[in-house]
Structure 1
Amino acid sequence: MKTYEDQLDTLMAMIEKRLSSLENNVSYMHSRLAELQESQEDGTDSEYEKYAKAI
């Protein structure tokens, strides 16, 4: 049977893994947002506009 310390260590490892994943997702979304803002400033079409024009 696991001790409370072992359970706490396991829980902390799970939380750290999820936090790391969340940080990666936020970082990706931040860079993607910067790309989209840059393309709007340049006056170029967004991915959605390119798709909409193709239809």
Structure 2
Amino acid sequence: MCHFYFSWPTSCTHRTIGRQGRIVIPSSLRQQLAIKPGSQLLAWLENGRLIMEAKEQLW
């Protein structure tokens, strides 16, 4: 169950970090964000949260 202090527009899923530190992004979210193999994501911390955005969306 997801608990947010704001309205979240997409479905919430729980992810487990693999032994090599990888996180799998569910296909439904990849489709909504047009993330394909080879897409570059930028990641940063903001107020204790991991934020990731497709590089193409920022430039």
Q: TM-score, normalised by structure 1?
A: 0.24
Structure having the larger proportion of residues in strand: 2
Structure having the larger proportion of residues in helix: 1
Highest RCO, 1 vs 2 (Cα 8 Å, sep ≥ 6)? 2
Q: TM-score, normalised by structure 2?
A: 0.23
